[in-house]
Structure formats: structure tokens, C-alpha cells
């Protein structure tokens, strides 16, 4: 491991300790990878690609303190929103399917009545239609 990597790792570990203690120097103090990278004065990709073990350790330490990382909290909130919207959509679909069945029955009744009226009209075709007299 190069001295640059060792220095990065030391900076990340010190930054994680400050964030977990609630004493940030360079960041907002949020328990996120972005804040950890700012606190350690390294690029975010250094944590997400080069030192993934330190990133995982940081998240484990956050959870061990009984806290949920902001990224996980946002994901959980998004999941709850999606679940609520799915339940609403499912209820709407159920209602629409019920209404569709009802409308299908109504159309069938109207079609049957229409056929009966047409048959009745044909059977009374002998009826005479007389024009009304116009008054002058």
C-alpha cells in the first residue's frame, strides 16, 4: 500500500471518528458518505471505490450507535411513499374493475332491451302512420 493510500485511510478513519462523536471540522456533520468524504478531505469516489471497507465500517458504526444513515432513512421514506401509492393504485384498480363489471351488465341489459324494442317495432309494422293535418 502506498503512503498516499495510508494517509487517505488515516484521514478517513479520523473523519469517521469526528462525525460519530458529533464534532465535525469540515462538513455538515451528517452521517453520510458525502459528509465523510468532505470531513476526510477526499473525493467521494475514494470511499466508494478505493476504500469500500472503510465506507462499510463507517455505516456499521453508525448503525451500532443506533442511528440510521441519512441515505438509508431517505430510502426507507421513499419505500413507504411507494408502498402507499401502490396501495392507492391497487384500490383504484379494484374499484375500476368493479365499475367495469357493472357497466358491462348495464350495456348487456340495454342491448337486450334494444333488441326487444326493435322486434316489437317489426311485429307492429302493419300500424299505419298518418300525417297530422296542418292548420292554415
What's the DSSP call for residue 126?
A: T
Contact of 76 with 68, CB cutoff 8 Å: yes
CB 42: neighbour CB atoms within 10 A? 19
Stated pTM of the model: 0.49
Distance between CA atoms of residues 34 and 109, nearest Å: 65
Taking 50 as the pLDDT cut, the residues of the chain under it are none
Residue 128 has a pLDDT of: 63
**Which alpha helices (DSSP H) does 1-136 contain, by range?**
3-21, 33-40, 44-45, 52-64, 70-123
pLDDT at 113: 95
pLDDT at residue 106, as a whole number: 96
Domain edges within the chain: 3-67, 69-121
Looking at residue 136, its pLDDT comes to 66
Q: Say which residues have a Cβ less than 8 Å from residue 65's Cβ, sequence separation at least 6.
A: 20
Amino acid at each position: 500500500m502506498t503512503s498516499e493510500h495510508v494517509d487517505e485511510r488515516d484521514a478517513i478513519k479520523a473523519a469517521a471518528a469526528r462525525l460519530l462523536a458529533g464534532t465535525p471540522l469540515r462538513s455538515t456533520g451528517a452521517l453520510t458518505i458525502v459528509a465523510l468524504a468532505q470531513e476526510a478531505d477526499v473525493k467521494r469516489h475514494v470511499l466508494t471505490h478505493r476504500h469500500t471497507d472503510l465506507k462499510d465500517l463507517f455505516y456499521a458504526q453508525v448503525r451500532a450507535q443506533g442511528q440510521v444513515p441519512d441515505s438509508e432513512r431517505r430510502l426507507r421514506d421513499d419505500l413507504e411513499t411507494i408502498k402507499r401509492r401502490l396501495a392507492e393504485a391497487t384500490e383504484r384498480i379494484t374499484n375500476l374493475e368493479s365499475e367495469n363489471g357493472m357497466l358491462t351488465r348495464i350495456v348487456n341489459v340495454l342491448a337486450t332491451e334494444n333488441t326487444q324494442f326493435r322486434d316489437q317495432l317489426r311485429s307492429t309494422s302493419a300500424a299505419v302512420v298518418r300525417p297530422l293535418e296542418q292548420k292554415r
